[in-house]
Chain A
Amino acid sequence: MGANFESRYLMYKFFSKKLSIISFIFIPIIFLWHPSWLGFLGVQPYWPLFWLLPWSMINGSINGLIFGLFLGLILDSLTLDDSFTQIPGLIFCGFLFGRVKLHSDNLVGHFRYGLICSFGSFLCGSFYFLQIIFRNFSDSNFLILIPSLKNILAQVFLTGFFAPFICSQLLKMFKFSRRKLN
């Protein structure tokens, strides 16, 4: 009985310590799952930013930059476009999000997450779009212009819309995880 209780306690301790890493695993899963009922104009929110913002806010710019790189590497491996990468956008966002300070007012904080994630999504989308433009410069890049702009705008809107809900929950979770560590 005592041993059973101890093992359960250790498991609980392990999971509460590693909450941030466990949630990290879900990003590629949800990226692949691509639930269409959450989409707008066929576009999904940019899921990695929801995790990257609270992580960078708590752990700082350098950590944000490193995990931005990790996320970029994983997500690039899941997409088939060899010529384009998500790494620059995510690295930049990770670094930038690390400079954001936690806000004491919860309500303002929620809206701030939306705005920051929208901005991050715009940056990542623009970086990706620039790569496509650069690659297709000699061909018919003007044909790619309209769908790409639609992609960026829809993604910015959706990411900003969902960020207040998801980021605040993740931030709470990460804070809880850190408290247990100390």
Chain B
Amino acid sequence: MLGIRRISPNRWHKKKNWILFAIFLFLVFVRISKGSYYKDLYYFISRPFWPGQFQKEIVLESIDQEYLMKLNLLKKDNLRLRQILSLQESSNNENISAVVISRKTGSWWRQIILNKGSKDGVEIGNIVIGPGGLLGRVKDTSLFTSSVTLVTSPESKLGVWVDRIQVNGLLVGLGDDYPSLILYSKDADIKVGDFVSSSPASTLLPSNIPIGIVQSIDETLKSKKTAKISLLAKPHVIDWVQILKVDI
């Protein structure tokens, strides 16, 4: 009356056989693949619970603290030596703290807009640094804002210094997150991991501002060497920056 169609026992038996056969095939597949997919699945499921991740964070935090202490010691040393040599002390009076109010770090345009402008004394050509090092230069100011061309912008070309081999180079933005370092000498012994800072010879930047680390080297060109630089300051996450008003 209700129209329930009963599956005959024989048909159900056949269906069950097919299910069992399918499971059997699946298990054969698991056996042949030596459970690799199963293990991969487990890898992803168990990943949040790995003890190593947590340990890694603790270790990194300790390393950070160690570096901070070393930095403080070096700062004190620097101050003491400057006093001995009667050199002028660098002051922080000319630094302006600013907030990033607009950020274009992907796509064609590589720029940030800060909440400090000509009203606060920001001038075109001022240097902008963030946690890690150099971010870019002020290209344009309005009364309340200033626009910064990032070092990753194709418009950006800066003189830099590779400290280990004591060589000057040109840092050119390519429109992605890794600007290119061009060394106009085929013999320059640059290596992955070399530290890049602003050049003492640069007319645009004060010297010794950390910029990045060599990530990969391209030696295919005949007359020059190029390297990809991983920046220390990450413009896509930094919210607070410092504008340096330094006379070079």
Contacts and interface: CB of A to CB of B under 8 A. Distances in A.
Given A32-B113, A144-B174, A148-B175, A83 B155 contact: yes
B109 A42 contact: no
Nearest to A33: B102
Interface residues of B, number: 26
A63 B177 CA distance: 38
Contact of B175 (A83, A139, A151, A154): A151
A39 B107 CA distance: 10
B180 A147 contact: no
Interface in B133-185: 139-140, 147, 149, 153-155, 172, 174-177, 180, 182
Nearest to A124: B108
Interface in B53-82: none
Contact of A32 (B102, B154, B226): B102
B226 A143 contact: yes
A7 interface: no
B149 A80 contact: yes
Which range contains the number of A residues in contact with the other chain?
20 to 34
Interface of A: 32-34, 36, 39, 41-44, 79-84, 125, 128, 132, 136, 139-140, 143-144, 146-148, 150-151, 154-155
B106 interface: yes
Nearest to A77: B140
Contacts, number: 70
Interface in B95-114: 102-109, 111, 113
- The winner among A43, A80, A83, A128 for most chain B CB atoms within 10 A is A80
Interface of B: 102-109, 111, 113, 139-140, 147, 149, 153-155, 172, 174-177, 180, 182, 226, 236
Contact of A155 (B107, B153, B226): B107
A82 B156 CA distance: 12
Nearest to A29: B102
- The winner among A39, A81, A132 for most chain B CB atoms within 10 A is A81
B153 A44 contact: no
Given A144-B174, A150-B176, A81 B107 contact: no
